[in-house]
Amino acid sequence: MYTLYYSPGTASMAVHLALLEAGAPYELKLVDLSKREQRSAEYLRLNPLGQVPTLLVDGQPYTESGALLMLIADRHPATRLAPPPGSVQRQAWYQWIVYLSNALGASYRHWFYPPDLGASEHPAPVRAALQARIEAAWARLEAQLSASGPYLLGAEFSAADLLLIMYMRWSRNMPRSALEWPSLRHFATLLRARASWQRLCEIEQLTEWRS
């Protein structure tokens, strides 16, 4: 049994999707960000950074969405959320999870949370630079999917795709949505048709960008 500390539509989405894909038993614990529950003493004991997600595995807390996807894939190999260990595809899988976490996860953090950079609002040049960095990632991912898609590893779906669709959803209110890139748009159509995505939207009561 897993326990996922989550908030709807946040970085916990990819982990929630992986649990659904794996058919693993789990329970959800809502962390209400509007009430700053992520900063409560109780939650900080689990996750000192005060962020979601946190996943309890046999009572032990673990954090970081990319790492949690690797953990779930390793614990449920039959679900094929990751290619076989030692394979060339497995090496590419690690690469894409780390790339997505660094190129998009970190950039989005600054985009959505200006105080992390010491400001209540970004100056226009900073905001433009962050937008350009995120759009450069979309361009690289578009090239990958266009040449070798429809998924990041080609014909085979994996947990890396769950991380990508989460970050794509976050672009929905940006000046340029990820859906403006055609191969990314096709990728989103495939991912949003999966039962795990539809079930997650029901559980987390997400209506925007559901299909």
Question: pLDDT for 45-102, tens place per residue?
Answer: 999 999 999 999 999 999 999 999 999 999 999 999 999 999 999 999 999 999 999 9
Name the pLDDT band for 116 (thresholds 50, 70, 90). Answer: low
Where along the chain do its domains lie? 2-80+198-204, 88-194
User: Mean per-residue pLDDT for 104-124?
Assistant: 82
* Residue from 157, 179, 151 nearest 167 by CA: 179
pLDDT tens per residue across span 141-174: 999 999 999 999 999 999 999 999 999 999 999 9
pTM, full prediction: 0.95
Domains 2-80+198-204 and 88-194 share a fold: no
User: Is 88-194 CATH 3.40.50.2300?
Assistant: no
State which amino acid sits at residue 10: T
What is the side-by-side strand order in the sheet with 2-6?
A: 26-30, 2-6, 54-57, 60-63
Average pLDDT, the chain: 95
Name the pLDDT band for 117 (thresholds 50, 70, 90). Answer: low
Q: Which fold has domain 2-80+198-204?
A: Glutaredoxin (3.40.30)
Alpha helix positions (H), the chain? 13-22, 41-46, 65-75, 88-100, 106-112, 124-148, 159-170, 182-192, 195-204
Name the pLDDT band for 119 (thresholds 50, 70, 90). Answer: low
